[in-house]
Amino acid sequence: MTITEAEVLNALKTVQDPDLRRDIVTLGFVKDVVISESSVAFTVELTTPACPVKEELQAQCEAAVSALPGVTSVQVTMTARVRARQIQEGDLVPDVKHIIAVASGKGGVGKSTVTVNLAIALAETGARVGLMDADVYGPCIPLMMGAQDERPYTKGNKIIPIQRFGVQLMSLGFLLEEGQAVLWRGPMVAGTVKQLLADVDWGTLDYLLVDLPPGTGDAPMSLAQLVPLTGVLIVSTPHNVAANIAGKAVQLFQRLNSPILGVVENMGPYIDEDTGKEVRMFHGTDGDELAKVLKVPFLGRIPFDPRISKAGDAGVPSMITHPHTEQAEGFRHIAGQVAQQSSIIAMTRRDLTRLSEAPARP
């Protein structure tokens, strides 16, 4: 009995991507089906290497095809090709597939800390990751990544990013003299944000994370107007003031037509090692409650952990210094959620475009 490609594809049509809510054949994920007597091999190309349900999908594919009569062995290769945000002609960074802004209402909630560790967590999965420090008022990414003494060089008319922990970095901090202060006016902020995008040789990136200053000032406004963002990640602490102001940031981005990827809770409850009891730093609105109120996804929680701030101050992020702790697992989980939400936004917008381009039915 010979097995046909059609039979294999038919079997794989029973496997659904849980986020995109379509089967993987219709989504075009199944590639290179090779049938040799009773052995079947094929590739499943997901939308991100950071897919949190990769193993689950692989097992489902194996099971579906193994169940076909006459099949004795199944080999599934899982790969990923990140599908891009909406990139139109004239885009400042056309080879950057996703731009994710990290914002907050209140200052000091841990945006920069979350951004650096998230960038490292995404890079760990094999994705190509850039980190742009758009906090033009107080650029601290060079310090947090132990790169404050670096000075990037230029090639042609482009600035080459600094590489640290598998992440490409650019910050105004690299371009200023030590201690140099800048007195900003609105148009200068927009100009600098534009330079950090267009004058830097970012190359091809799957994810460019942008660390913003707090609030709804010139930098987030300029960024959202200069490039179509995949989405905005809102960092908040379980503190009522932080939660209230987070809502304002969400409103601003929604007005600028940038999707909200979701809410990350930082400095959340932690387990005290001596007593084994949960300790809460703040007693206000939790991240999941805030997400519910704002009607956006909840992406995960990072506990309060002094090792995080110690690592940040020492210039080696906590994902690197303490890779096997709850905080590192938290960042990995959030990386998966960010990748997943980015895929959903990119694929949904693409589907909508495709539908609107489809010829009208006679």
Q: Please choose which of Mg ion, ligand ATP, none residue 214 contacts, taking the beta carbon within 5 to 8 angstroms, the exact cut-off set by kind.
A: ligand ATP
Select 69 or 306, whichever has its Cβ closest to ligand ATP: 306
Shortest Cβ contact with Mg ion: which residue? 112
Tokens 């990290």 -> residue: 102
Give the list of residues 6+ apart from residue 86 with CB closer than 8 angstroms, or none: 228, 346, 349, 350, 353
Q: Please choose which of ligand ATP, Mg ion, none residue 124 contacts, taking the beta carbon within 5 to 8 angstroms, the exact cut-off set by kind.
A: none
- Per CB under 6 A, which of residues 134..153 are in contact with ligand ATP? 135
Select 107 or 187, whichever has its Cβ closest to ligand ATP: 107
107 part of the interface to ligand ATP, by CB under 6 A: yes
342 part of the interface to Mg ion, by CB under 5 A: no
Q: For residue 120, which amino acid is it? A: I
Radius of gyration of the chain from its Cα atoms, rounded to whole angstroms: 22
Of 59-67, 108-116, 179-187, 349-357, the window that binds ligand ATP (rule: CB under 6 A) is 108-116
Q: Please choose which of ligand ATP, Mg ion, none residue 305 contacts, taking the beta carbon within 5 to 8 angstroms, the exact cut-off set by kind.
A: ligand ATP
H/E stretch holding 178: none
325 part of the interface to ligand ATP, by CB under 6 A: no
Q: Please choose which of Mg ion, ligand ATP, none residue 107 contacts, taking the beta carbon within 5 to 8 angstroms, the exact cut-off set by kind.
A: ligand ATP
108 part of the interface to ligand ATP, by CB under 6 A: yes
214 part of the interface to ligand ATP, by CB under 6 A: yes
Runs of H (alpha helix) within the chain: 5-12, 54-66, 111-124, 141-144, 172-175, 186-198, 218-226, 240-255, 287-294, 306-314, 318-321, 326-357
Tokens 């590489």 -> residue: 163
Select 97 or 332, whichever has its Cβ closest to ligand ATP: 332
Dihedral sign of CA atoms 292, 344, 77, 61 in order: positive
Of 104-112, 282-290, 340-348, 351-359, the window that binds ligand ATP (rule: CB under 6 A) is 104-112
Cα distance between residue 164 and residue 149, in whole Å: 13
Please tell me the number of Cα atoms within 13 Å of 304 on its side-chain side: 17
285 part of the interface to ligand ATP, by CB under 6 A: no
Cα distance between residue 324 and residue 330, in whole Å: 10
133 part of the interface to ligand ATP, by CB under 6 A: no
Among 97, 111, 164, 239, binds ligand ATP (CB under 6 A): 111
Cβ atoms of residues 134 and 171 within 8 Å: no
Tokens 């693409």 -> residue: 350
**Beta carbon of residue 212, minimum distance to ligand ATP (angstroms, whole number):** 8
193 part of the interface to ligand ATP, by CB under 6 A: no
Of 104-112, 165-173, 307-315, 344-352, the window that binds Mg ion (rule: CB under 5 A) is 104-112
Shortest Cβ contact with ligand ATP: which residue? 309
Q: How far is CA 349 from CA 55, 132, 230, 342, in A?
A: 26, 25, 10, 11
112 part of the interface to Mg ion, by CB under 5 A: yes
Select 113 or 192, whichever has its Cβ closest to ligand ATP: 113
Please tell me the number of Cα atoms within 13 Å of 253 on its side-chain side: 30
Give the list of residues 6+ apart from residue 253 with CB closer than 8 angstroms, or none: 101, 103, 220, 224, 232, 260
**Beta carbon of residue 104, minimum distance to ligand ATP (angstroms, whole number):** 6
Q: What does the binding site for ligand ATP look like in residue numbers (CB under 6 A)?
A: 104, 107-113, 135, 213-214, 266-267, 302, 304-306, 308-309, 312
